Structure 1
Amino acid sequence: MEAVDAIVIGAGHNGLVAANLLADAGWSVEVVEATPQAGGAVRSGHVTAPGYLSDLFSSFYPLGYASPVLKALDLREHGLEWTHAPDVFTHLLPDGRAATVSRDLETTMASMERFAAGDGERWRHAYEEWRAVSPQLLEALFRPFPPVRAGLDLARRLRAGGSLRLARRLMLSVRDLGSELFRGEGATLALAGCALHTDLSPEDAGGGVYGWLLAMLGQEVGWPVPVGGAQQITSALVRRLSERGGRITYGTPVTRVLVARGRAMGVRTADGRARRARRAVLADVPAPALYLDLVGARWLPPRVVQDLEFFRWDGATVKVDWAVNGRIPWRNPAAAGSGTVHLGADLNGLTRYAAHLATGEPPPDPFLLMGQMTTADGSRSPAGTESAWAYTHLPHRRHWTADEIAARVARMEAVMEEYAPGFGAMVVGRNVFSPAGLERENPSLVGGALGGGTAAAFQQLFLRPIPGLGRADTPVERLFLASASAHPGGGVHGVPGANAARAALARDRALTGRLYQAAVGAAHRAVYR
Structure 2
Amino acid sequence: MADAVVVGAGHNGLVAANMLADAGWDVEVLEAQPEPGGAVRSDRGVHPDYVSDLCSAFYPLGVASPVMRALDLQRYGLRWRHAPAVLAHPLPDGRCAVLERDRDATAGNLDALGEGDGEAWLRLCGLWDEMGDDVLRALFTPFPPVRAALPLAASAHRAGGLRVLRSLLAPVRTLGEQEFAGPGGPLLLAGAALHTDMFPETTAGSVFGWLLAMIGQRDGWPVPEGGAGELTAALVRRLEARGGRVRCDTPVASVVVRDGRALGVRTASGEPVRATRAVLADVSAPALYGGLVGWADLPGSVRADMRRFDWDHATFKVDWALSGPIPWASPDAGRAGTVHLSPGLDAMTDYSTHLATGRVPAEPFALLGQMTTADPTRSPAGTESVWAYTHVPHEVKADAGPDGITGGWDEREQAAMADRVENVVERRAPGFRSRITDRRVIAPPAFQDHDANLRNGALNGGTAMVHQQFVFRPVPGLGRAETPVAGLYLASASAHPGGGVHGACGANAARAALAHAGAGGLLLTPALNALSRLLAP
Q: 1:404 and 2:413 equivalent?
A: yes
Q: 1:516 and 2:535 equivalent?
A: no
Q: Deviations over 1:93-146 (max 9, x none)?
A: 233321000001222112111221111111112111111111101101111111
SS of 1:370's equivalent in the other structure is strand
CA contact (8 A) 1:321 1:432 kept: yes
Alignment RMSD (CA, Å): 1.3
CA contact (8 A) 1:301 1:528 kept: no
CA contact (8 A) 2:130 2:159 kept: no
Deviation of 1:332 (Å)? 1.1
Q: Residues 366, 161 of structure 1: CA spacing in aligned structure 2 closer, same or farther, 3 A cutoff? A: closer
Deviation of 1:527 (Å)? 3.6
Q: Deviations over 1:336-394 (max 9, x none)?
A: 10000001330000000000000000001111100000000111111111000000000
Q: 1:439 and 2:448 equivalent?
A: yes
CA contact (8 A) 1:126 1:181 kept: no
Q: Deviations over 1:64-112 (max 9, x none)?
A: 0011111111100000011110000101223332100000122211211
From 469, 484, 487, the counterpart of 1:460: 469
1:200-219 to 2 correspondences below 5 Å:
200-219=198-217
Deviation of 1:160 (Å)? 8.3
From 90, 95, 113, the counterpart of 1:97: 95
SS of 1:8's equivalent in the other structure is strand
Q: Deviations over 1:25-46 (max 9, x none)?
A: 1111110101111000001111
1:257-296 to 2 correspondences below 5 Å:
257-296=255-294
The code of the aligned residue for 1:523 comes to: L
Whole-angstrom CA distance in 2 between matches of 1:510 and 1:480? 18
User: Which range is displaced more, 155-164 or 100-109?
Assistant: 155-164
Whole-angstrom CA distance in 2 between matches of 1:170 and 1:125? 13
Q: Residues 160, 101 of structure 1: CA spacing in aligned structure 2 closer, same or farther, 3 A cutoff? A: closer
**Counterpart of 1:19?**
17
Deviation of 1:239 (Å)? 0.4
The code of the aligned residue for 1:102 comes to: E
Whole-angstrom CA distance in 1 between matches of 2:154 and 2:421? 48
Whole-angstrom CA distance in 2 between matches of 1:160 and 1:80? 37
1:385-400 to 2 correspondences below 5 Å:
385-397=383-395, 400=408
**Counterpart of 2:314?**
316
CA contact (8 A) 2:134 2:155 kept: no
Deviation of 1:156 (Å)? 2.3
Whole-angstrom CA distance in 2 between matches of 1:418 and 1:309? 41
Deviation of 1:528 (Å)? 4.3
Deviation of 1:305 (Å)? 1.1
Whole-angstrom CA distance in 1 between matches of 2:466 and 2:530? 26
Provide the TM-score with structure 2 as the length reference: 0.96
Q: 1:492 and 2:490 equivalent?
A: no
User: Which range is displaced more, 165-174 or 50-59?
Assistant: 165-174
Deviation of 1:170 (Å)? 2.9
Deviation of 1:162 (Å)? 3.0
SS of 1:7's equivalent in the other structure is strand
Whole-angstrom CA distance in 1 between matches of 2:47 and 2:21? 39
**Structure 1: unaligned runs, 5 residues or longer:** none
Deviation of 1:161 (Å)? 8.5
The share of aligned pairs that are identical, in percent, is 56
Corresponding residue pairs, total: 526
**Counterpart of 2:184?**
186
Deviation of 1:165 (Å)? 2.4
Whole-angstrom CA distance in 2 between matches of 1:11 and 1:261? 28
CA contact (8 A) 1:90 1:342 kept: yes
SS of 2:291's equivalent in the other structure is helix
The code of the aligned residue for 1:521 comes to: N
The code of the aligned residue for 2:433 comes to: G
Q: 1:428 and 2:437 equivalent?
A: yes
From 479, 483, 489, the counterpart of 2:488: 479
CA contact (8 A) 1:475 1:524 kept: no
CA contact (8 A) 1:321 1:430 kept: yes
CA contact (8 A) 1:145 1:471 kept: yes
**Structure 2: unaligned runs, 5 residues or longer:** 397-406
From 225, 231, 234, the counterpart of 1:233: 231
Whole-angstrom CA distance in 1 between matches of 2:425 and 2:197? 22
Deviation of 1:469 (Å)? 4.6
Whole-angstrom CA distance in 1 between matches of 2:297 and 2:101? 50
**Counterpart of 1:332?**
330
The code of the aligned residue for 2:463 comes to: T
Whole-angstrom CA distance in 2 between matches of 1:106 and 1:135? 21
Whole-angstrom CA distance in 2 between matches of 1:30 and 1:375? 38
Deviation of 1:307 (Å)? 1.2
CA contact (8 A) 2:320 2:440 kept: yes
Q: Residues 161, 114 of structure 1: CA spacing in aligned structure 2 closer, same or farther, 3 A cutoff? A: closer
Whole-angstrom CA distance in 1 between matches of 2:446 and 2:155? 47
User: Which range is displaced more, 75-84 or 398-407?
Assistant: 398-407
The code of the aligned residue for 1:293 comes to: G
Q: Deviations over 1:186-235 (max 9, x none)?
A: 10110001111111110011111111011111111111111111111100
**Counterpart of 2:195?**
197
Whole-angstrom CA distance in 2 between matches of 1:21 and 1:83? 26
CA contact (8 A) 1:304 1:528 kept: no
Q: Deviations over 1:51-76 (max 9, x none)?
A: 11111111111100011111111100
Whole-angstrom CA distance in 2 between matches of 1:419 and 1:90? 12
Whole-angstrom CA distance in 1 between matches of 2:303 and 2:57? 35
1:35-54 to 2 correspondences below 5 Å:
35-54=33-52
From 314, 339, 342, the counterpart of 2:340: 342
Q: 1:64 and 2:73 equivalent?
A: no
The code of the aligned residue for 1:497 comes to: G
Whole-angstrom CA distance in 1 between matches of 2:532 and 2:102? 49
Whole-angstrom CA distance in 2 between matches of 1:267 and 1:457? 33
**Counterpart of 2:404?**
none
Whole-angstrom CA distance in 2 between matches of 1:406 and 1:498? 40
**Counterpart of 1:373?**
371
